[in-house]
Amino acid sequence: MSSEAVFVPSEAVVSRTHVTAEQYGAQYARSVSDPDGFWGEQARRIDWIKPFTKVKNTSFEWPDISIKWFEDGALNVAANCIDRHLATRGDQTAIIFEPDDPKAEARHITYRQLHDEVCRFANVLKGLGVKKGHRVTIYMPMIPETAYAMLACARIGAIHSVVFGGFSPDALAGRINDCDSAVVITADEGRRGGKSVPLKTNVDVALEDCPGVEKVLVIRNTGGPIAMKGSRDVWWHEAAAGVDPVCDPEPMNAEDPLFILYTSGSTGKPKGVLHTTGGYLVYVSLTHELTFDYRDGEIYWCTADVGWVTGHSYILYGPLANGATTLMFEGVPSYPDAGRFWEVVDKHKVNIFYTAPTAIRALMGAGDQFVERADLSSLRLLGSVGEPINPEAWLWYHRKVGRERCVVIDTWWQTETGGFMISPLPGAIPTKPGSATKPFFGVQPAVLDPESGKVLEGEASGVLAIADSWPGQMRTIWGDHQRFKETYFQQYKGFYFTGDGCRRDEDGYYWITGRVDDVLNVSGHRLGTAEVESALVAHPKVSEAAVVGFPHEIKGQGIYCYVTLMADEPASDELAAELRNWVRKEIGPIASPDCIQFAPGLPKTRSGKIMRRILRKVAENDYGSLGDTSTLADPAVVDDLIANRKNR
Ligand code: WT7
């Protein structure tokens, strides 16, 4: 082992683990050499309506990219997440709902109640004309009804597309239109940190540009004032009154779509990542059980929003497939104060806690008194996801939250991967603060030379690619298989390209260093620089814009915008503020620029390409390594950029 800090699993951890170090080695080897045997066995963990006879049928060979798992099997995801638990754990809590307001009462929903709610929801959707294969957009707060809506879609074979409740009407409209949803599910308002979020009003604005939407199903959440529009808008409580609480699950082929989830890429338009039914469920249920070392009866809390893949895979589908008790939290870590997470842990005796480095850093900055006043003795395991975790935050998490008793796991994965790819298994893999450690079963990471694409062996730095398929992998981009192939398989032939850079150390541990493409990771949220740029240039006073990331203490990355104004348009602080609000309105608050620098010119090559490398260096305040600027059309531009750099 290397000289860095290494945390070896304690005896207590090893004695309860699903997978020991020895088993990890042997099973990993088998998962790679005999994927059909390995995954064929693992897939029996879920219930199949019609058993599969084929396991893996995948090709990464350009240009024939095709991914199929368990392709002749049939199953239903909702039945696996609910019905099959009823005989043994019908009265067990499936979902604990902790509201934003700490004084409001928490709700405990049993598996039996979940069954009734989901069946009724499914029948309401059927009543609105939703059929197998239809797309349903869900724009909701973090309330149990969101889980019912998603599971109801899965039950009747409709494809859900959840859009994060923090996105703007414009962003919502684009996502509704891209997948042609005729039905949108929303709530009157959401609640976060004591403030209300005008979800239904946002839907009303979005739908001005969505001619295909026929019905909007509205859940009454806050009771706040909203407008209901004629025959289009339907109250859930009215539609659900007297509806049949029984709805048979639709048999779905393993490769039928389960959901679409939009995520940012390096070009302007978000990609509709498509996940299917069988492989996804097998993968999220196995990874949830083994990576969290989940045991029956434990209370599990993932703090993500269901609007992101983390919420899909590890609030909903993975935990419920395993019959777990999963906590849904409506609020934010800082409300009413920076002790809220720890109060919720104590209140519900949470055993497994899973959050993002940005939250850890923010809470660390708020002072130790908040975490120190909590008991936290129920905690056993702490997880991290969304962005690289700096060793300082890892160690604070371990010491202050985990009281040096809990395992800390850093899980690397993506919307595209469906589930965990590189992560410690608690009883099997010693951890190093800041490293996601080793691959999960069936995952074959490769470090490639970014230029030549050559596979690098041993200790190496380069870009991270995956050499073969795993069951949770996305199957395509909704409506654009060509873009799917080009985005992930064209640059490095024979591999799935992740877009991340990484280093593999002398122990074979992986250290993810962040995106190598034009994707930003702001507080664990993925954003394309091109998305922010197109929002900026849509403003009448902006002629050109270039956006880059810079290291940010809390957010991981901040957003730095270089803006060229229209001729004769004077720059001012007021205009900078106006542009900041403009971007928030166009995309959503997560895209708020941290810095706006007005630049009369941007550094371009003679062929007109913006040299982002230089813009990144200026934003980072790192002029020593600007590199070769001689190819610029006008090298003097750089001096102006440096002279007018914004201090953050
Ligand atoms: C990108 C994927 C996976 C769910 C949340 C984000 C970054 C994610 C880690 C980690 C370092 C990480 C990568 C990745 N990322 N987890 N543990 N260590 N980086 O999903 O929005 O699809 O973003 O997030 O850059 O490519 P996503």
Domain-located, residue 602: yes
CA 12 to chain centre: 31
Query: What is the number of domains present in the chain?
Result: 2
pLDDT at 621: 86
Domain-located, residue 41: no
Q: What is the mean pLDDT of each run of 10 residues along the chain (648 residues)?
A: 78 96 98 98 98 98 97 98 98 98 98 98 98 98 98 98 97 98 98 97 98 98 96 97 95 98 89 98 98 98 98 98 98 97 98 97 96 98 96 97 97 98 98 97 98 98 98 98 97 98 98 94 94 95 96 95 95 97 96 96 88 91 79 85 82
DSSP character at residue 521: E
pLDDT at 3: 46
Q: Is 410 near ligand 1, meaning CB less than 6 Å away?
A: yes
Given 488, 516, 544, the domain boundary residue is 516
Phi, psi of 326 (to 5 degrees): -115, 135
Residue 624 domain boundaries: 523-644
256 CA to centre of ligand 1 in angstroms:
26
Residue 338's identity, in one-letter code, is: A
Q: Which atom of ligand 1 is nearest to the CA of 525?
A: 21
CA atoms within 13 A on the CB side of 84: 18
Coil, strand, or helix at residue 1?
Answer: coil
Q: Is 302 near ligand 1, meaning CB less than 6 Å away?
A: no
536 and 620 in a single domain? The answer is yes
- Shortest-distance Cα residue to atom 18 of ligand 1: 388
542 and 510 in a single domain? The answer is no
pLDDT at 648: 65
Domain-located, residue 347: no
Q: Is 513 near ligand 1, meaning CB less than 6 Å away?
A: no
Tokens of residue 236, six digits: 């859930």
621 and 602 in a single domain? The answer is yes
CA distances from 410 to 291, 313, 354, 375, 389 (A): 10, 16, 9, 23, 8
481 and 560 in a single domain? The answer is no
Q: Is 500 near ligand 1, meaning CB less than 6 Å away?
A: yes
Domain-located, residue 504: yes
534 and 611 in a single domain? The answer is yes
607 and 537 in a single domain? The answer is yes
DSSP character at residue 189: -
DSSP strands (E only) in 249-372: 252-253, 257-263, 271-276, 299-302, 325-329, 352-355
CA distances from 381 to 115, 300, 355, 393, 424 (A): 29, 10, 11, 16, 12
The span from the CA of 170 to the CA of 421, in Å, is 33
Q: Is 499 near ligand 1, meaning CB less than 6 Å away?
A: yes
The answer to pTM > 0.90 is yes
Q: Is 512 near ligand 1, meaning CB less than 6 Å away?
A: yes
486 and 565 in a single domain? The answer is no
Please give the helix or strand (H or E) that residue 452 lies within, else none: none
- Shortest-distance Cα residue to atom 5 of ligand 1: 386
Q: Is 390 near ligand 1, meaning CB less than 6 Å away?
A: no
525 CA to centre of ligand 1 in angstroms:
8
Burial of 206 per CB tally in 10 Å (0-12, 13-18, 19+): buried
386 CA to centre of ligand 1 in angstroms:
4
Q: Is 442 near ligand 1, meaning CB less than 6 Å away?
A: no
Question: What is the CATH number for 512?
Answer: 2.30.38.10
301 CA to centre of ligand 1 in angstroms:
19
543 and 640 in a single domain? The answer is yes
411 CA to centre of ligand 1 in angstroms:
8
Domain-located, residue 563: yes
Query: Please, where are the H alpha helices in 407-489?
Result: 481-489
DSSP strands (E only) in 495-538: 496-504, 510-515, 519-522, 525-528
468 and 561 in a single domain? The answer is no
Q: Are 193 and 334 in contact, with CB atoms under 8 Å apart?
A: yes
Q: Is 557 near ligand 1, meaning CB less than 6 Å away?
A: no
Q: Is 353 near ligand 1, meaning CB less than 6 Å away?
A: no
Given 466, 493, 516, the domain boundary residue is 516
Q: Are 523 and 488 in contact, with CB atoms under 8 Å apart?
A: no
514 CA to centre of ligand 1 in angstroms:
8
Question: What is the CATH number for 554?
Answer: 3.30.300.30
Residue length, the chain?
648
Given 482, 516, 550, the domain boundary residue is 516
Q: Are 298 and 325 in contact, with CB atoms under 8 Å apart?
A: yes
The span from the CA of 218 to the CA of 184, in Å, is 9
The predicted complex's ipTM stands at: 0.99
Domain-located, residue 169: no
209 CA to centre of ligand 1 in angstroms:
32
- Shortest-distance Cα residue to atom 7 of ligand 1: 387
551 and 635 in a single domain? The answer is yes
464 and 536 in a single domain? The answer is no
DSSP character at residue 604: B
Residues 6+ apart with CB under 8 A from 512: 388, 412, 422, 436, 464, 500, 501, 502
486 and 446 in a single domain? The answer is yes
Please count the other Cβ atoms lying within 10 Å of the Cβ belonging to residue 1: 11
Domain-located, residue 469: yes
Residues 6+ apart with CB under 8 A from 41: none
Pocket test for ligand 1, best of 413, 432, 473, 496 (most atoms within 8 A of CB): 413
Pocket test for ligand 1, best of 521, 522, 525, 527 (most atoms within 8 A of CB): 521
CA dihedral 340, 346, 350, 355 (to 10 degrees): 20
Burial of 211 per CB tally in 10 Å (0-12, 13-18, 19+): exposed
484 CA to centre of ligand 1 in angstroms:
19
Domain-located, residue 69: yes
